Amino acid sequence: MTAFGLYQHQEISCPNSVTGDAGIFFLALINTLFTNQCQLGNKDDYPIDSGPTLVDNEVFDYIIVGSGAAGSVVASELAKATQSRILLLEAGGYPSPTSDIPAFHPSLQKTTEDWQFHTEKSNESCLSFKFGRCLWPSGKTLGGSTTINHMLYVRGSKHSFNSWAAEGNLGWSYHEVLPYFKKLEKLEAYELKASKQYGMNGLLPLTRNRLHHPVRNVILDSVKEIGYKVYSHEGGLGFFEALQTIYQGVRKNAAKVFLADSRALPNLKVATEALVEKILIEKDLKEANGVVVNIAGRNLNIYAEKEVIISAGAVNSPKLLMLSGIGPKSHLGSLGIETIHDLNVGQTLKDHLTYPIITLTLNDSSVKYSSQNPTEELFKYFANREGILSNTGLSNILGYLNTKNHTGEPNVKFNYHIVLRQDSYAISQYRKNLNLDDTIIESIAEANKHSHILVISVTLLDAKSRGKIYLRSRNPHEKPLIHSGYLSDEKDLETLLKAIRIVEKQTETKAFKKLSAQLVNVDIPNCRKYKFRTDDYWRCAIRNVATSGHSPIATCKMGLVIDPDAVVDALLKVHGVGKLRVVDSSIIPSSTKADSAAVSLMIGQKGTQMILNGFSVIKHDSR
C-alpha cells in the first residue's frame, strides 16, 4: 500500500485553497510528482517476466544466467542475430524507481537490489568494520550492478588488455577489443565527438555531468599545482571527468539499455526472481545441458541444446560452478560435492582496495553553493530531470596516477565526494554503506556539523594481494565465503600510503588554501596510539578502514590450458567442460586499472560474437 492508500477509507478534512506564489508552487510540485511517479522504475522499460509461465523440462537453445552488464548484452545480441530460443534468468527482480535517480545511488546498497555480500574476518584488513567484515555490494536485480553502481564508464588501460594477449589470450589486445567497446557506445557528450575516441551509434548513452560543482575547479587546479595533467577524457596518467551512463537525468542500466526492445523479440524470454541452483552436466560427455532453477518456490529443470552461459558476476559465477561440481577437488569433496572437473575456480580473486575517508573541512564562506532547498530540487528533477538529483556531484572527477613516477601505468585512483554542512542524509549513507565502527563515523559527522566536508578516496588499482572464494555449504541459497586477502602483500599497504601522501600534497596547494581546507583527524580507536599523519598512523588506518573498491575479478580466470589457475579459455569456454561458457568480469585475468562495469559490457559484446562465430578461433580443449 502506498502512503496515499492509508487515507482511502478515511474522511479527510482539507485546508482552504492555497494561494499566492507559494501555493501555486506547492500545487505545481504535487501535480508534477503525481504525473511523473510512474515514469521512474517503469516495468515497461524492461522485459516481461516469463518466470511464471516456465515449465519443468522446457528446452531452449541458450540459457544465460545473470542479467548484469555482460548477461544483458549477450541475451540481446544473440536474440537479434539469430532465431535461437534464448532464456535469460535473473535472481533479482525489477529495479526500483530510486535506482533511476543518479544522486540516490548510495541508498541502493544493503537493499533487496543488493546481494549484500561481505568478506570473512581477517587479521590484516577490515579491522574496524563491524564484525570485522568489509561489505561487498553487488546488484541483485535486472541490470545487475549497473543498476546500483555510480554509473561511471571507464574502459581501462590499453597496456592491461595488451598484457592479456601477451599471456596467450588471443583476440584480447586493446586494438582487438576496442571495436566491441565502440559498438556499445553512443557518445552524447558533444565536446568529445571530434576526438573520435568513442562510439557514436551504439545503444549505451555516455554523457558528462550537466552541473559543474563549485569545488570542481579547485580539485583540478590543485592537481595541476602538484604537477599532474588534466585531460578531456580518459587516457594517460592524470585527472579527467569520466563519462557516465546517465541520459537526460536518468540512470541507464544495462537491462534498460539492451533489453528494452526484448518485448519485440519472440525468441527471448526473461525470468526474474529466478535463482539458478545448479548447472546440469552430462557426466559421460562432460557437457552442460541445462540448469536447475528455483522460481517462486518451484524447482525446474530447464535444458539448453546449444550452450549454458554463466554471467552471474565475480562472486556468483564461481559459486555456481562449484555447486555444479566444477572447482577445487579438495574443497568440493569437503562438502560432499562430486567433482566433475577439477579447476581452480575462485582461487585467484583480485579486487580494488579503497581507503575511503580522507576528510577535509572547507570554509563555508569561501564556497558558493547553489540553492539546496529539497522541495525546489525535487521539483527540478521531477519536472525536468534537472538539478542536483540528476547527477552525481564530484564523483565523476577521477585521478589515475602512479605513486612511483609520472610515467608508466597508473597504480592508484582518486575519487572525491562533497558533503554539505549538516547533511545528515549523506552521513547516514556513510554509516550504512561502510559499516564502520560508530566512533569513526561520528568523528566525520562531528566535522560535518560545523563545515562542508570533502571526502577523498584513494584506490589501489593493481593489488598484489590475492583472495579466494569458497562455498559456505552445499545450500545454493547461502552466500559464499569471501576471503579477500586484502593487504596480505605488504607492497599494497605501502602503495596506498604513498597515494595518501599525494592527497596531503594536494590539500596544501594554493587552490585548497583558498577554501581554508583542513585535514580532519578522524578518530579511529585502534589507531589512537599513533600520531596523526605519521607513516605508522596511516598504515594502521589503512588496515582498519580500507575496504572494497567494488571491482572483483579473476575468480574464473581466462588463460591457456597450461595455466594451472585458468578456468576458461580465450573463447570463454570452461576448460574441460563442453557447451559451457563464463561471460562476465570473473574471467578478467588482471586488472584493467578501472572499474569493471565498462569492461564487463565489452566482454558481453565480444563474448556474443565468439558464440556466433562457433569454433572458428580456438578449439575447445579437453583438460
Q: For 37-80, what is each residue's pLDDT tens digit? A: 667 878 989 999 999 999 999 999 999 999 999 999 999 999 99
In this prediction, residue 18 has a pLDDT band, given cuts at 50, 70 and 90, of very low
- pLDDT tens digits, one per residue of 263-314: 899 999 999 999 999 999 999 999 999 999 999 999 999 999 999 999 999 9
Residue 220 pLDDT class (50, 70, 90 cuts): very high
Report field, pTM of the whole predicted structure over 0.85:
yes
Residue 24 in this model has a pLDDT that exceeds 60: no
Helix (H, G, I), strand (E, B) or coil at 616: coil
pLDDT value for 21:
55
Q: 102 with 391: CB under 8 angstroms? A: yes
Structure confidence at residue 37 (pLDDT): 61
Give the domains, in start order, of the chain with CATH numbers.
46-96+257-350+553-613 (3.50.50.60)
Average pLDDT over residues 484-489: 98
* Per-residue CA distances from 610 to 139, 165, 258, 515, 570 (Å): 26, 16, 18, 53, 9
pLDDT at 7 (0 to 100)? 31
Biggest distance spanned by C-alpha atoms of the chain: 80
Q: Which residue has the cell 544522486?
A: 103
Q: What is the pLDDT of residue 1?
A: 29
Residue-wise pLDDT tens digits, 567-602: 999 999 999 999 999 999 999 999 999 999 999 999
Q: Is 412 labelled a binding residue?
A: no
Which residues contact residue 195 at a Cβ distance below 8 angstroms, ignoring those fewer than 6 apart?
Answer: 232, 233
Per-chain mean pLDDT for the chain: 92
Angstrom distance (rounded) from CA 614 to CA 507: 54
Q: How confident is the model at residue 193 (pLDDT cuts 50, 70, 90)?
A: confident
Dist CA 213 CA 210 (whole Å): 10
Burial tier of 376 (Cβ tally within 10 Å: 0-12, 13-18, 19+) = middle
Q: Is it the case that residue 34 has pLDDT exceeding 80? A: no
| Residue predicted with more confidence, 617 or 202 | 202
Cβ-proximal residues to 41 (8 Å cutoff; 6+ apart), any chain: 94, 95, 96, 97, 98, 99, 100
Question: In this predicted structure, what is the pLDDT of residue 28?
Answer: 63
Q: In this predicted model, what pLDDT tens digit does every residue of 384-440 receive, in sequence order?
A: 899 999 999 999 999 999 999 877 899 999 999 999 999 999 999 999 999 999 999
Measure the CA–CA gap between 127 and 541, rounded to whole angstroms: 9
Q: Which of 120-129, 274-283, 365-374, 459-468 has the lowest mean pLDDT?
A: 365-374
Q: Which cell numbers hold the place of 484?
A: 579477500
pLDDT in tens, 445-465: 999 999 999 999 999 999 999
Confidence of residue 486 (pLDDT cuts 50, 70, 90): very high
Please give the pLDDT value at position 382: 87
